[in-house]
Structure 1
Amino acid sequence: MTIHKILGQTFYLLPERAIFWKETEHLIIADLHLGKAGHFRKSGIPVSDLVHSKDVYLLDRLIDKHKPRTVVFLGDLFHSEENQSWTQFRQWLKSKSATHFQLVLGNHDILPEQSYRLPNLEVLEQLELAPFTLTHIPEDTTQYNLAGHIHPAVRLSGKGRQSLRLPCFYFGSNNGILPAFGQFTGTARIPITKHDDVYAITEDSVVKVC
């Protein structure tokens, strides 16, 4: 865990690719992409649902460890049309009735409205939590914007020709971008300036690289 201070607030940057916001006790994750394996199988590409089971197990562990008042999904919670993965996830959400969940809708969150109707799940277009505005796709907002969607990554170079691309947390002057929480997702390198704060994520640590 690494601490990032921003606008008087304290973010715990977790190697599980999530943020725990200390002052408000919010756990924030982006781009879980549940159901993506089923979507690939429908296209004839054999991918096991175990990849999603591991993600939900990891989320369950984070909730047990940090005991957040609210879990915020920054969009793309579910990847496509309803399938068995969503049914199983609904049951898991019901089992977490003491935890409040908020979903900021992403471009892949296309399920019918009634599919999201659960007592502890609130669905929003964007979320205002001063001093931040939370969206799925990065936007120019009045408050500092926190978003996902990009699946940001940074390339680290060593001596010789060695290089390694790692998912990262990115904090620019007006926008912060979270890495994809889901393991079955790609990454995209993002442009970085000397004024940005970037934290690379390894298997068990978060390291500031600029």
Structure 2
Amino acid sequence: MPAPALTPHAELAVAGETLQLLPQRAALWPARRMLLVADIHIGKAAAFRAGGVPVPAGTTLQNLEALDRLLRTHDIDEVMFLGDFLHARAGRAPATLAALQAWRERHARLALTLVRGNHDSHAGDPPASLDIEVVDEPHRVGPFLFCHHPEEREEAYVIAGHVHPVFRLAAGGDSLRLPCFLFGPKRGMLPSFGAFTGGHAVTPLPGERLFLAAEDRVFALPSPTPID
């Protein structure tokens, strides 16, 4: 009998729904055809260069190309950005905004929603021409509260970003830091989607499950405690 085919994503039952955790550091809610993306930080490299720090250009296009690959691969009607869409006012360079506008025009039928994060409050809302619905946290859709900050709430299950979680694997004197998803009984955190963002090391608490996003696959660390 042939071995079952491996899938690159991890499936997780949360609040009565199924989520797919993708190796591209995003999550898919198939029942709503919704892609969940946290902390894309558009214009971060441009903001650094505006401050005199010589970092490479091209990260905005890299982020948009990553979104394009997901849109080609999955059946998606809406993208929910969980905060920190734009990094800073200094990052609103003409080339950055032009790349965003061109991407939006290629996906004019796609619904876009942004839950404001802490960087959005300083960078300002995206230009109106991008046709992004901008809301404050918590933003409820079905059984979920979409937020930027991963604070537990009593009224529904929270899915958020902000922390940029990573996990350190160590073996035989070698170590590797990988972006990760962290899901517990009342909240879940997504890794940062942006190409030019750092990470904060996390350790799962009792009842939490951790999923590592490798280059082409998501791996679940063993956990004896179910979420749902």
TM range (shorter): over 0.9
- AA aligned opposite 2:168: R
Structure 2 equivalent of residue 51 of structure 1: 59
Q: 2:24 aligns with which of 16, 25, 30?
A: 16
- AA aligned opposite 1:14: L
Change (3 A) 1:68 1:120: farther
Structure 1 equivalent of residue 192 of structure 2: 180
Change (3 A) 1:169 1:112: closer
Asked if structure 2 preserves the Cα contact closer than 8 Å seen for 1:78 and 1:86, the reply is no
Q: 1:145 aligns with which of 147, 158, 166?
A: 158
Structure 1 equivalent of residue 113 of structure 2: 102
Structure 1 equivalent of residue 103 of structure 2: 92
Percentage of pairs with the same residue: 36
Q: 1:83 aligns with which of 77, 84, 93?
A: 93
Distance 1:188 1:86 in 2: 28
Distance 2:105 2:118 in 1: 24
Offset from partner CA, 1:37-80 (integer Å, 9 cap, x none): 11111121112221221111010111122131110110111101
Distance 2:48 2:123 in 1: 17
Give, in angstroms, the shift of residue 196 of structure 1: 0.9
Asked if structure 2 preserves the Cα contact closer than 8 Å seen for 1:130 and 1:143, the reply is no
Q: Give the structure-1-normalised TM-score.
A: 0.93
Give, in angstroms, the shift of residue 112 of structure 1: 4.3
Distance 1:128 1:194 in 2: 26
Change (3 A) 1:83 1:104: same
* More off after superposition, 83-92 vs 144-153: 83-92
Change (3 A) 1:46 1:139: same
- AA aligned opposite 1:25: R
Distance 1:194 1:53 in 2: 39
* More off after superposition, 200-209 vs 39-48: 39-48
Give, in angstroms, the shift of residue 117 of structure 1: 1.3
Distance 1:43 1:36 in 2: 11
Task: Map 1:1-210; keep pairs closer than 5 Å.
Answer: 1-81=9-89, 82-84=92-94, 85-109=96-120, 110-113=122-125, 115-118=126-129, 120-126=131-137, 127-141=139-153, 142-158=155-171, 160-210=172-222
Q: Give the structure-2-normalised TM-score.
A: 0.86
Unaligned 5+ segments in structure 1 are: none
Q: CA RMSD in A?
A: 1.5
- AA aligned opposite 1:205: R
Change (3 A) 1:25 1:174: same
SS in 1 for 2:41: coil
Distance 1:24 1:183 in 2: 26
Unaligned 5+ segments in structure 2 are: 1-8, 223-228
